[in-house]
Structures are given as C-alpha cells and as structure tokens.
Amino acid sequence: MKLEIKNVSCGYGTKIVLKDFSIQVSSGEILCLLGPNGVGKTTLFKTILGFLKLHSGEIQLNGEDIKYWSRKKLAKTIGYVPQAHTPPFPFSVLDVVVMGRTAHLGVFSSPSKEDLTIAGKALEILGVSFLKDRIYTEISGGERQMVLIARALTQQPDILVMDEPTANLDFGNQVRVLEQIKKLAKKGMGVIMTTHFPDHAFLCSTKVALMQRNNVFTLGYADDVITEENLRIAYGVNVKITCLKGVDGEIIKACVPLLS
C-alpha cells in the first residue's frame, strides 16, 4: 500500500495552512513529521482522513484518488491515533478499543467474540491489559493515549496516521510505543507520525519531513534532514547532535539542546 500526498494545499475555510506539500509513505516505512507548533501537521492529517476539504492537490492510495473512496473503505485502510480524545460517554476501555473494529462490521452487527479477542490482544501487546475494565474517562492522559493506540491496532489498517503518539506518555511508555511502531512497520504497516522529539525520528523513522512556518519543507532520511542547522532554522534554537554506540555497535544519534 502506498499513500501519496501530491502538492497538497489545505486549511480551514478560505484560510490555507499548508501549501503545495508532497510526501509519500509505503508499507513498511515510518515517516516522521517534525515541525514547530501550528505549522499544519494535524491539519494535514485531518485532510488525509477526509475531515477537511483539499484546497488543491491530490491524495492517493495505491494510485487511486481517495476522494472517490467510501468512508468505510478509507476507515479500513487508514487508522488514526488523534492527539487527544474524550468520548462523551463513560465507555469501558475495552469498548473504546473494540470501536477500532467498526469499519470491519456489517451495518447492524455488533462486535463478535473475535473482535473482542483482537481488541484484548491489542491491549496485551501494549502492556495495558490491566486497564481493560476501567472507565475510559477516568484514566490518565497517558493511559488514554495507550488505549487509542490499541484501538488503532485493533483496526488493523494498512496505513497508520499517528498525531504525537508519544505525547503524555512516561519515559517507559514512550519507548514501548516506539518499539511497537517499529514492529508494526516490520509487519508491513506504513506509519506516518508527528513528533516533537527529533530523537524519536532518529530512533525509528525511515524518512523525515521537517516542516517550517514559511511552507518550506525538507524531506529525506533522518541523517540528512535532522541536522543542527536545520533544527536551528526550524525551531530557532541551538542544538548539538551527538553520536552514541548502541548495544550492537550501531550508531545512534541524539539531539541535545544548548541553552543560551
């Protein structure tokens, strides 16, 4: 499966937030979107998911323009982990996770035993089965984030769109989520995610798109895109990039901000 964003301009009403933006992500790849607050990352995701109308350009899945796809077909293909989500009703965590199966169900059918098993398994994979019977509105922000990721896994999409999947998570859960994202890509899922941590892009991305406020985008491999100079230009801060040796002798890069 290949998702192609071709020369897309999008925004709200007549206000254009993102101009002439192009990226693509294929099965097995992890594309990290980096960029300052308000640059248009979430807006792009909402446009990909069909919540916002395109001003111009095209979004294709396997070469087909998604504007001709039904909502159901799109929901089966693209999974979404939003930045924050509060349902209006006090559903149990398992109920929220099983909602990920909605696109797979018939019009009047309710989740089967298999759907519940898939949902339970997703919670187990993420190490949060203990939350299963808790009320979703009564768990912490970080726990909700893990539940939303479990819901997206339950959907079993080809492409997973994740808006800051590690936001709100403690250090351990950040690492577990990054590991899980890498595993999903290894299994063939295409992942497009935003992050405010360039280190996370070094750890797990196949490609990076660094977005700047003036609609300037730098695309490429993390090593080429995440440079001290590019981070300074994008975020207006000084950063030192250091190299460390991992347990298997592999080189891991890390960004250290320099305080003035």
Ligand X SMILES: Nc1ncnc2c1ncn2[C@@H]1O[C@H](COP(=O)(O)OP(=O)(O)OP(=O)(O)O)[C@@H](O)[C@H]1O
Minimum CB distance to ligand X smaller for 41 or for 207: 41
Minimum CB distance to ligand X smaller for 24 or for 83: 83
Minimum CB distance to ligand X smaller for 28 or for 82: 82
Find the shortest distance in angstroms from Cβ 209 to ligand X.
Answer: 12
Find the shortest distance in angstroms from Cβ 127 to ligand X.
Answer: 26
Find the shortest distance in angstroms from Cβ 166 to ligand X.
Answer: 13
Find the shortest distance in angstroms from Cβ 13 to ligand X.
Answer: 7
Q: Which residues bind ligand X (CB under 6 A)?
A: 12, 15, 17, 35, 37-43
H helical segments located in the chain: 41-48, 71-77, 93-98, 113-125, 141-155, 171-186, 198-204, 222-225, 228-235
Minimum CB distance to ligand X smaller for 129 or for 215: 215
Element (H, E) at 20: strand 15-26
Find the shortest distance in angstroms from Cβ 17 to ligand X.
Answer: 4
Spell out the residues 6+ positions from residue 234 whose beta carbon is closer than 8 angstroms to its own: 34, 35, 36, 210, 211, 212
The packing angle between helices 141-155 and 113-125, to 10°, is 130
Find the shortest distance in angstroms from Cβ 35 to ligand X.
Answer: 6
Amino acid 94 reads L
Minimum CB distance to ligand X smaller for 123 or for 161: 161
- What is the token pair recorded at 40? 């248009």
Give Cα separations from 151 to 60, 72, 94, 105, 130 (angstroms): 24, 16, 9, 15, 15
The packing angle between helices 171-186 and 141-155, to 10°, is 10
Minimum CB distance to ligand X smaller for 45 or for 136: 45
